[in-house]
Amino acid sequence: MTWLTEWAGYLPQMMSGLSVSLLIAGVSIVAGYPLGLILSVMVSAKNLAVRTLALAVVEIGRGAPALVILYLFYYGLPKFGIAFESITAACLALIWNSAAYSSEIMRAGIQSVGRGQLEASNALGLAQRHTFFRVVLPQGLRSAIPGLMGVAIQMFQGTSLAYAIAVPELMKSAYNIGSQDFNYLQIFTLAGLCYAAISMPATWITVFFEKRLARHA
């Protein structure tokens, strides 16, 4: 029972950390996914320069650990006179990360739309932009939904990296509490439960959506 009473005492501080974590995750998804969509289109562009640029952004975002990008934004950029608050740097790094991962998922979704759909659009005489935005994209994004939800969960867990640059998110709150009375076991167990309390229901929702989409496919 002592754990529960201790946890109850920690909760207010943990909740403020959790809200910062959720904020960072929310920003990185809300800003990252639209960027990811733009990148996914640019990656298949005819123009070589556009394609190369997009590919570089995507591959760096996926290839480098998020922590490296985080450090580059926070510790590296001040060298060029660009300094961010720690939470801004965390958001920017995770936006890059989520844009890179989501762009690949959206690209795969877009490519999975059948050739027959393009042929029907062409035969009807629909303009390229109508074909893309009204026929291909809605179908492609629909099949990308489960993957995108998976990335969203990954992004939420990735916010714990922001601890490394002293953003007052969930891990930071836990560490601060722990260093006061050295109850590390209790506090980090609680932190794990907080992450799980968000991630697990989100996973269930993803599975539900996967099943629903499979049924309508």
Partner 1 sequence: MTLSEIADGKLAPRLGIKLDNISKRYGDNTVLDDVSLHVEPGTVTALIGPSGAGKSTFLRCINLLERPDSGTIQVDQHTIEPGKDVNSRDLAALRRTVGMVFQSFNLFPHMSALKNISFPQQKVLGRSKDEADERSMQLLERVGLKEKAHQHPGRCSGGQQQRIAIARALALDPSIMLFDEPTSALDPEVGLEVLAVMRELAADGMTMIVVTHEMQFARDVSDTLVVMADCRIIEQGDPRAIMSDPQEARTRRFLRAVLER
User: Where along the sequence are the contacts to partner 1 (CB under 8 A)?
Assistant: 114, 116-117, 119-120, 122-127, 130, 134-135, 138-139, 142, 216
Is the Cβ of residue 94 or residue 136 nearer to partner 1 in the bound state?
136
Query: In sequence order, which residues have a C-beta less than 8 Å from that of residue 167 and are 6 or more positions away?
Result: 20, 24, 86, 87, 90
| Closest approach of partner 1 to the CB of residue 124, in Å | 4
Is the Cβ of residue 97 or residue 121 nearer to partner 1 in the bound state?
121
Q: Provide the terminal-to-terminal Cα distance of the chain, rounded to the nearest Å.
A: 50
Is the Cβ of residue 140 or residue 168 nearer to partner 1 in the bound state?
140
| Closest approach of partner 1 to the CB of residue 137, in Å | 10
Q: Compute the CA torsion angle 146, 193, 158, 87 (nearest 10 deg).
A: 120
Is the Cβ of residue 55 or residue 127 nearer to partner 1 in the bound state?
127
How far is 102 from 28, CA to CA, in rounded Å?
A: 11
Give exposure, 106-138, as e/b (b: 16+ Cβ within 10 Å): bbebbeebeeeeeeebeeeeeeeeebbeebbbe
| Closest approach of partner 1 to the CB of residue 148, in Å | 17
| Closest approach of partner 1 to the CB of residue 134, in Å | 7
| Closest approach of partner 1 to the CB of residue 156, in Å | 29
Evaluate whether 47 touches 195 at the Cβ level (below 8 Å): no
Q: Compute the CA torsion angle 208, 211, 213, 214 (nearest 10 deg).
A: 170
Is the Cβ of residue 62 or residue 142 nearer to partner 1 in the bound state?
142
Is the Cβ of residue 138 or residue 201 nearer to partner 1 in the bound state?
138
| Closest approach of partner 1 to the CB of residue 217, in Å | 8
Evaluate whether 187 touches 174 at the Cβ level (below 8 Å): yes
How far is 213 from 74, CA to CA, in rounded Å?
A: 40
